[in-house]
Structures are given as structure tokens and as C-alpha cells.
Structure 1
């Protein structure tokens, strides 16, 4: 299990690098290809379309070839995409490549997260997921810092071959490393064995499904993740541009503030899982949602570079555990469907990540930073309402609904 968590952590580190790459180098990309923000946002949106396809396809592919083989394919897609980016092809081709990168890290995120939730002890699920999210945050922190340094030197293009190398190594590790007993859980052999056992007993293979009473909670969770990821990606991808346009900050300084956001995300994630386990998942998530609304509303009214840096750091702390704890909370209320629920929630996030940065880019071009910041604050309020609905549905399910006696189909 330790080796699995270690390589899972490396995978999340790489996913963090890949996911914020577009925001970290967006300004030099726009300058290199002579684009506006609306055109530049297409790159971000296309990548998240691929992300959505990856997380939706993950359960279907793992059902056929197992988790390990699917992860090799996922990181192979990411390696190929980053290698293609390295050649700085024409802009139209960059937009074609972007979904392949998204498929790679989207599929990987869904599978690794579901595997860790499934195999972790009940009392440590939130802590284990938060540990993975720490490494995601480290990757998201390192990328803007490294990109800012390379931008300063005039070699920002090197971000792509560096990511190619890390993705290739990660793919090889998933291909070759043995995880002991966990190999039976992530390999295709375990599925074949289950099928043979069921056939020998003359019983159909069980297929889990969602029950009707789960639907309100599931719907609330989908809305929560859709809005959260859209909010986070809109803010992180355009933070440097916000600061440059609103306060006149230099490009390297603005990119460094994005690293501060992810640094405080990492710090928060060191404690988020334990705190959520202690005070309960709904209480933790509700407090985080309320804090996010307040921070972004205040940021929309702030014009000072120094104060915007302060609010950005606090936002990183407040939002640090919202994704990982949200996933664990969703799976704690809908048991026996971890892989499907995780993929569904991550897919909802992918939709938000594809739509809202596109809208933010259009607002940046048409109306400037102030209205864009108010859009993000409005998204935070909608996220709060979505989680309130989700938590109420989850409480009704625990208080009044019977546990299912079977979740199988013939």
C-alpha cells in the first residue's frame, strides 16, 4: 500500500503540474501566437473537454483492461501531448493536441483517486486523499514558480519537454512496479477471476447501480464539483492576468502570486483531512464554502496588489480540502460505487473546468477584471447553495432512508 500511495502521490504531482500549465504560460503563449484572451481560453477549454472525456471513459476502460493498464494509457497520452506541445506547432494544432493532454490527466486523476479511497481504511480515507492532494498542490505550486523563472530567462518553452520527461517516467512506473496484494485490485486478472467465479456458481456478474433515493444527493454533488472546479480553474488560470491588469504588476511577479495560492493550498491540505475527520465532512465543507464566498467578494472590491496577495493566500487555505474531502463525503453517503461516483464527480468538475474559464476569458476581453472577479464570487455563492442542498439530501438519507439491501442488476 505504501508503494501504491507513493506512486499515486507522484501521479497527483504530475497532474498538478499539467493542470496549471496552461495558466502558468498563458501570457507568453498569447504573445507568441498573437492571440487575445478569448482565443487563449480555447486552449484551456479544449484541455478540459479532454479531461471530461478521460474521467467519463475511465470506468468503462478499467472494466475491460484493469486500472493499471488504463493508467499506462493515460500517462502515455499525457506524454505524447506534452511532447507535441514542445514543438510549438501552429495554434490550430495546439488546440487539437489539448484534449489528448486532458484525457491523460483526467483519466489518471479519476482512477488513482478512486483506488486510494477504495483501498484505504475507513477512518483514514479523508487523510489519504488529502495526502494525495498535497502532492497535487505541490505540482500546482512548482509549475508557476518554474514557469515564472523560465519566462524571466526567456525560455518558457522548456516547460513542455520537462513535463514530457516526468510523464514518461510515471508511465513506466505504473507499467513495471509491483504493489504486492494491491496488484489483485488494480490488474485485469482480478476481474477475470470474478467473472469465472460467478460463472462457476451459475450466478450473473453483479453490476452496481444508483438507487432512486440517492439521486438528490448525487445531483447536489454534481453541482458542487462542477462549480468548484470551474471556480478554481477560472481563478488560477487568470490570476496572473488579473493582477497585471488591475494593479500593473510585472508578469513574473504576477505568476509568482499564483505559486503563493498553491503554496497555501499545500499547507492547508496537510491538515484538511484530519480536521475533516474530526469535525465531520459536512461541517468542514460548509465552513469552506462560506469562507470562499467572503474571500472572493472582498477580492472583487480590492485594487491593492498587496491586499490581493493576502486574499489569494487565504483563499488557498480555505479551499485546500474542498475537492478531496468532497470526494470522500460523496463516497461515504453512496457506498459500493466508489469508482463510478468518483468518476462522475470528477467529470462534473471537468465540465465546470471547460465552461467557466471560457466565460471568464470572454468577460476579461469584453468587460475587464472587475466583472470577471464578481463572476468568480457569484460562482462561490452558487457553490455554497449547491453544497447546502447536497448536505441536506445526505442528512435525509442518513436519518430517514433505509440502507439498500442490494445494488445489483441481473
Structure 2
């Protein structure tokens, strides 16, 4: 019993440490991109291609990680993900042109995609009790490192080293070298095994998922929720600056407050999801987020704080959906997560594109002037709020479907 407890603690280090590294590696690019642009004389199109290629690498990794896990196991898959991220840091440090920069970034996001699915599969097999609590706690560590990543990245870039600044190359080398640390407990820990029955179940469930209305409803829930979450992070500062003429500092402080609420919600919301059920929890949380954002847009600047408070509702959606998948597709959780996250990633690309199109279309329709530009911004942000509400509506349908099909709701 004592040895199993030690092993559980070791696995906690792998999962929680993995999410910490994941958050850092994904979110230090903010301060690094302008320096990369300057060093390689890149234009906006080249930056866009770089980021698009990253998304492609991420989605590619999401598509094969479950298969890899069934072939070589969770331990080796996790180690491979961490190692590829560390190697990408070395490649980034020595990149000497746009092509090598793209190749290095592509490898980094292959590692990130493997890590997200790999950690999700690990967590689903390790956290068999209080799954909602532990999934939310795991993603709390991702949120925690995400909050500090831009500040840490910018600070490291300014460090003096060998009579010069460390810069983005040295910053990435140091940050991604941290990926080696979770490999140590990974080598020491004993991971739950995937037996042949589970592998066969996953093969069968892939075909079943494509025909399962509940699986597609879960994709809808996750897609609407995550696109709304990512859109708030991408558009909130822009909205506050242009709609209310806020300074960059003041608008960024509101975004930081959003992430504080977001991170704390993941820390404390888990036990609620376990108590009242995952589907019902997502229904309530996503509706709360959508309503907060709608009120903030419609009432205006006096209710701007609601933009940040919306983070409380949007934060638990992703980890709680992962807990739902772990419970409903217990034997085929790897392929269920791959199916859901890959389609969610595609939806994220489309959703963020739609937001920009809505803002531009409304501005063009009403003509370019400050008052009409505000209408475009409001339309775009109302769309973000609507996505959260659609997430809740999908949960209502999912709730009823589960009652009819399974006789119980998870």
C-alpha cells in the first residue's frame, strides 16, 4: 500500500509538472514573436504561416498520440513528448533562418500536441476517483504557468549572458529544457497498463464515435466552450482598447484579472463538478460565462468587470469534458479524447476566423467611423458570448440524450 501511494505521488508529479511545462511552452511566444520578426526580417504573412504551421503540427500530434499510446504505452509516449520539446528548444536556439525556425516550431507543437493528449490519457487512467476534481486541478497548473509565462519569458529574454542579452533563443532553450524534469519521475513511476482488450475496444469505438450522436454533442460542447475561452484571451484587450479607449496597461490588467478568475475556478470548481455531475456543471458554468459577457457588452464600460468574471464560468469546461470522456468512454478514452480534441482544434481555427470576419463585415456594412466600429466590436464579442451559451444549450441536449440512451447522466 505504501509503495502504491509513493507511485501515485510520482505520477502526480508527472501529470501536474507536465501541465506546468505545457502552459509555459505554449504561452512564452507572446514576447518572443516580435524579436523573431526583427531578427529574421519577417512580415505579417510569414508570421501567420509560422503560427498556422504550429496549429497543423499540434493537430497532427493529436491525431496519432492515442495510437502511439496503445503501441508503446503511456510512459514512453510521455517521455517522447517531453524529449521532443526539449530537442525543439535546442533547434530553436541554433535556427539561422525562416525555414529552420518553422521546422523547430513545428517540432515544438508536435510535442505540445502529444503532451496534451498523453497527459489526458494518463490523467483518465490515474484519476479513477474524483475525476472532475483531479482533472480541473491538473489544468489549474496549466493555467498557473500560463499566467506567468509571458512575464517569465520577457524577463529571461532580458537577462545578460556572455556580454549580451539572452534573447528569445536563450529563453526558449531554458524554458524547454525544463521539459527534461518530468522525464525523471516518468522513469521512476509505474503507469497503468493498457491491455489488449482496451486496445481492441479503442479500435471499435473509433467507428462507433463517428455514428454516436452523444460523441458529436460532446464535440460541440467542447468546441463552443474552448473557442469562446480562446477568443476572450485573444480579443479582450483589443475590445477594451478600441471600444472604451482604455490604455494598453489598463486593458491588459483586465485580461490578467480574467486569467486569475480562470485559474482559481479550475482550482476550486472540481469538487462541484463531481458533486452535481459533469454535464450539469458544464451547462451551468458555460451559461454563466455567456451571460456575464453579454451583460458586459450590452451595458457597457460600467460592467467591464464582468468580462473578467466570465473566466469563472469558462475555465472548468475543458477539464470537465475530459472527465466526462474518461467516465463515458473508460476503455476507449484515448481515441475518444483524440476524436474530440482534434475536431475541437479544427473548430477553433474556424471560430477565431469567424470573429474577425464578423467584426470586419459589420464595420464595412455600416461604414468606417468610430461609432460604427464600436458596433463591429460589439457584434464580435456578442458572438463570443453566444458561443458560451451554445455550449450550454448543447449540454441541455446532451443531458436529455444521456437520460434516454444510458438511463443516467454523468
Q: Deviations over 1:302-338 (max 9, x none)?
A: 653x743x12321111112111111112332233212
Relative contact order higher in (CA < 8 Å, ≥ 6 apart): 1
Q: How far, CA to CA, are the matches of 2:279 and 2:377 in structure 1?
A: 33
Mapped to 1, the partners of 2:262 and 2:286 lie a distance apart of 15
- Secondary structure of the residue that 1:335 maps to in structure 2? coil
Q: Report the 3-state secondary structure (helix = DSSP H, G, I; strand = E; otherwise coil) of the residue aligned with 2:219.
A: helix
- Structure 1: runs of 5+ lacking an equivalent: 199-203, 402-410
Indicate which of 9, 18, 26 corresponds to 1:19. Answer: 26
2:65 counterpart of 1:58: yes
Output the TM-score relative to the length of structure 2. 0.79
Pick closer, same or farther for the CA change 1:292–1:166 going to 2, 3 Å: same
Other-structure match for 2:407: 399
Q: Does the Cα contact within 8 Å between 1:364 and 1:372 map onto a contact in 2?
A: yes
Counterpart of 2:328 in structure 1 is: 333
Tell me what 1:322 maps to. Answer: 317
Corresponding residue for 2:177? 168
The number of equivalent residue pairs is: 382
Rounded to whole Å, the distance in 2 between the matches of 1:253 and 1:212 is: 46
Matches within 5 A, 1:235-274: 235-274=232-271
**Which blocks of at least 5 consecutive residues in structure 2 are unaligned?**
1-7, 364-375
What is the alpha-carbon root mean square deviation over aligned residues? Answer: 3.7
Q: 1:146 to 1:358 in 2, by over 3 A?
A: farther
Compared CA separation, residues 286 and 249, structure 1 to 2 (3 A): same
Preserved contact between residue 13 and residue 182 of structure 2 (Cα < 8 Å):
no
Cα distance change on mapping 1:265 and 1:119 into 2, 3 Å? same
Question: 3-state SS of the aligned residue for 1:336?
Answer: coil
Deviations 1:8-60 (A, max 9, x none): 11111122223334556667778886756x87555544322222211111011
Is 1:103 the counterpart of 2:98? The answer is no
CA, structure 1 residues 205+45, in 2 after alignment: closer, same or farther (shift >3 Å)? closer
Secondary structure of the structure 2 residue equivalent to 1:391: helix
How far apart, in 2, do the equivalents of 1:87 and 1:307 lie?
Answer: 48
With structure 1 as the length reference, what TM-score do the two structures score? 0.79
Q: Distance in 2 between matches of 1:326 and 1:249?
A: 35
Counterpart-to-counterpart distance in 1, 2:152 and 2:249: 10
Question: Residues 28 and 162 of structure 1: is their aligned pair in 2 closer, same or farther, counting only changes over 3 Å?
Answer: closer
* Cα 1:88–1:255 shift into 2, 3 Å: farther
CA distance in 1: counterparts of 2:209 and 2:139, whole angstroms: 32
- Corresponding residue SS for 2:212: helix
How far 1:376 sits from its partner (Å)?
Answer: 1.3
- Alpha-carbon deviation of 1:177? 4.3
In 1: Cα distance, 2:46 partner to 2:150 partner: 21
| Distance in 2, Cα, partners of 1:344 & 1:336 | 14
Q: Does 1:342 align with 2:348?
A: no
Q: Is the 8 A contact 2:70 2:199 kept in 1?
A: no
Q: Is the 8 A contact 1:13 1:138 kept in 2?
A: yes
Are residues 1:139 and 2:145 paired? yes
Q: Match of 2:216?
A: 219
Name the stretch that deviates more: 270-279 or 90-99: 90-99
- Residue 371 of structure 1 is matched in structure 2 by 379
Structure 2 counterpart of 1:406: none
* Residues 159 and 12 (structure 1), Cα distance of their counterparts in 2 relative to 1, 3 Å cut: farther
Change (3 A) 1:302 1:72: farther
What SS does the corresponding residue of 2:182 show, helix, strand or coil? helix
Instruction: Name the CA distance, whole Å, in 2 between partners of 1:178 and 1:396.
Output: 45
Partner of 2:227: 230
Q: CA deviation at 1:85?
A: 5.0
